[in-house]
Amino acid sequence: MSDINLIEVPKWGLSMEEGTITKWLVDEGAGFRKGDAICEVETSKITNEMEAPFDGVLRRILAKPGETLPVGAAMAVSADAGVPDSAIDEYLAANGSPAPEPVAAKAVPPSTEVAAPAPVPTPGTTVIPDSLAGSTNDDVFATPHALKLATKLRVDLGKVTGTGRIGRISVADVHAAIRAAGGTVAEPVAPQRNGTPAQSAQDDSGVNATPVARRLAASLGINLHDCRATGARGRVCVADVREAERKFLPAADPEVREAAPAAPEFEIVPLDSMRKAIGRRLQASKQNSPHFRLTADLEIDALLALRKQINATVPAVKLSVNDFIVKACAAALRKVPDVNVQFDEESQAVLRYSAADISVAVALPAGLITPIVRGADTKSLADISGEVHSLVTKAKTGRLQPEEFQGGTFTVSNLGMFGVREFDAIINPPQAAILAVGSGEQRPFVEDGQVIARTVLTVTLSCDHRVIDGALGATFLRELKRFVESPALMLV
């Protein structure tokens, strides 16, 4: 048994609880060396290539692409080429891991040792062989349609081999088992209607379709196998059902056409791992962190002038307003270190940091991630700009390393580029503060009795009242305002 090893879901960071296997980079039977990329694993924030922890041969893949497993769960088995499959089965059984039934054993049930031509099904008649009769269908992994059919026909699902995902039994598997055991399945022939073609009669419960399209097809008597799948992700949508309706149901049949009222179509989009993690963390933040918020207006005309001058005179440097905000926050945290903190829930203590590690919120199609500019208080504006650009690129391609987005002492979330004037942000625990940055816009100000225009942006500081009081938060905003409105201070 010493030649057999499990390959387990890795733990990348303290907050990782599960991983989704998205792609295997090594085929079963192929060898690999320690450090080789063997598969891709998606966590709540990133998709990374997992490196082999040792040399070996990939003998059996236990987790198929798309499966989500907890940290430490077995994904695959590595063993020397000379180790028999039976030894791997024994090892898996001894370690509490399932030994998947070989594909060859699933293809043909034991009762069909001698190949024989399948009986011709008699329309309208279903015959269940005695070998499949029974009703022990509790705790059997089957689709609702298959379970309902088996109950109706009194078929023992324990004698049916499932070919669906993770061995799930479908209606098609029940029909296949009946035919393989010598029985017949009723397949009524759909009559032609005024010369129109006959519709499919096979079960369409497994066809990938939107919920509204499925309901519409059922009400019209349309089989989903007769519909072209042109919807998102290869689904049959309402338009596809309507096309099949025009093909199979003549225009002179108003009763059928009026049977199904129009319904708004929607698509059920399951939460991915990133969105689930965001939900968990922000829900915990709202429950555990008593938020209060402070708002300030910052004049940025001097900042915009300095930015324009630097971008025009310094080669290969293109600073953004957000780069200045990140630098100003880091400088303000140096002046007000009691805001540069995290709250340790377990020990009920405040962790005060010497370095200003600024998390920068980045919007992705699947959610939000906050890569970190480490030691932003010690870096130049050019360094911050280059690092932010690199981190954003990695975030959008899913190649951030855990250490590049876990931690941080303060977060900047900027929606100004979307035209948002001001907003409230939720603290990212265990941090104790987050700054929400709106868009810069010209506003009228009265100065010496004259109305003049100033470029102003509004920022909102969300604080955890357990560790940051109102006066402390206001002190931080005062320092931030000083750096932003006198940007030359950030250069010395």
Are 19 and 42 in contact by the 8 Å Cβ rule? The answer is yes
Name the range with the highest mean pLDDT among 41-55, 133-147, 242-256, 416-430.
416-430
Question: pLDDT band for position 265 (50/70/90)?
Answer: low
**For residue 188, is it within any domain?**
no
Give the residues across from 461 on adjacent strands.
294, 435
Q: Is the pLDDT of residue 354 over 80?
A: yes
Q: Is 394 found in the same domain as 302?
A: yes
Q: Is 280 found in the same domain as 135?
A: no
C-alpha atoms less than 13 angstroms from C-alpha of 363 in its C-beta half-sphere: 6
Q: Is 131 found in the same domain as 10?
A: no
Q: How many CB atoms lie within 10 A of CB 203?
A: 20
The rounded Cα 311 to chain-centroid distance in angstroms is: 38
**For residue 205, is it within any domain?**
no
Q: Residue 178: phi, psi to the nearest 5?
A: -65, -45
Q: Is the pLDDT of residue 123 over 60?
A: no
Q: Which residue has the tokens 């780069």?
A: 323
Helix axes 301-313, 321-335, angle to 10 degrees: 120
Catalytic residue numbers? 465
Q: Is 140 found in the same domain as 79?
A: no
Question: pLDDT band for position 138 (50/70/90)?
Answer: low
Q: Residue 90: phi, psi to the nearest 5?
A: -65, -40
Question: pLDDT band for position 439 (50/70/90)?
Answer: very high
**For residue 343, is it within any domain?**
yes
Are 487 and 309 in contact by the 8 Å Cβ rule? The answer is no
Q: Which residue has the tokens 């070989």?
A: 102
| Domain termination residue (choose one: 180, 208, 228) | 180
**For residue 374, is it within any domain?**
yes
Q: Which amino acid is present at 295?
A: T
| Domain termination residue (choose one: 101, 131, 163) | 101
Distance, CA of 105 to CA of 110 (rounded, Å): 8
Q: Is the pLDDT of residue 109 over 60?
A: no
Q: Is the pLDDT of residue 113 over 90?
A: no
Rounded to an integer, the average pLDDT of 431-459 is 93
Structure confidence at residue 304 (pLDDT): 96
Q: How many CB atoms lie within 10 A of CB 51?
A: 14
Of the candidates 9, 67, 17, which has an alpha carbon nearest to the alpha carbon of residue 38? 9
Structure confidence at residue 121 (pLDDT): 45
Structure confidence at residue 99 (pLDDT): 44
Q: Is 155 found in the same domain as 84?
A: no
Q: Which residue has the tokens 């180790």?
A: 83
Name the range with the highest mean pLDDT among 74-78, 164-168, 336-340, 361-365.
336-340
Q: How many CB atoms lie within 10 A of CB 317?
A: 15
Helices H / strands E in the chain, number of each: 12, 19
Number of separate domains in the chain: 3
Q: Is 135 found in the same domain as 50?
A: no
Q: Is 479 found in the same domain as 388?
A: yes
Rounded to an integer, the average pLDDT of 43-56 is 80
Q: Is 148 found in the same domain as 22?
A: no
This prediction's pTM: 0.54
| Domain termination residue (choose one: 152, 180, 208) | 180
Q: Is 75 found in the same domain as 129?
A: no
Looking at 136-150, 222-236, 408-422, which range is the least confident one? 136-150
Q: Is 166 found in the same domain as 311?
A: no
Q: Is the pLDDT of residue 230 over 90?
A: no
Q: Which domain holds residue 429?
A: 273-491
Q: Is 358 found in the same domain as 478?
A: yes
Name the residue with higher pLDDT: 143 or 323.
Answer: 323
In the chain, how long is the greatest CA-to-CA distance?
102
CATH of the domain at 452: 3.30.559.10
Distance, CA of 101 to CA of 362 (rounded, Å): 44
Residues with Cβ within 8 Å of residue 39, at least 6 apart in sequence:
21, 22, 23, 24, 25, 26, 49, 50, 75, 76
The rounded Cα 364 to chain-centroid distance in angstroms is: 11
Distance, CA of 301 to CA of 325 (rounded, Å): 14
Structure confidence at residue 101 (pLDDT): 42
**For residue 225, is it within any domain?**
no
Q: Is 419 found in the same domain as 319?
A: yes
CATH of the domain at 168: 4.10.320.10
**For residue 423, is it within any domain?**
yes
**For residue 141, is it within any domain?**
yes
Q: Pairing mode, if any, of strands 341-344 and 349-352?
A: antiparallel
Rounded to an integer, the average pLDDT of 332-359 is 92
**For residue 198, is it within any domain?**
no
Question: pLDDT band for position 115 (50/70/90)?
Answer: very low
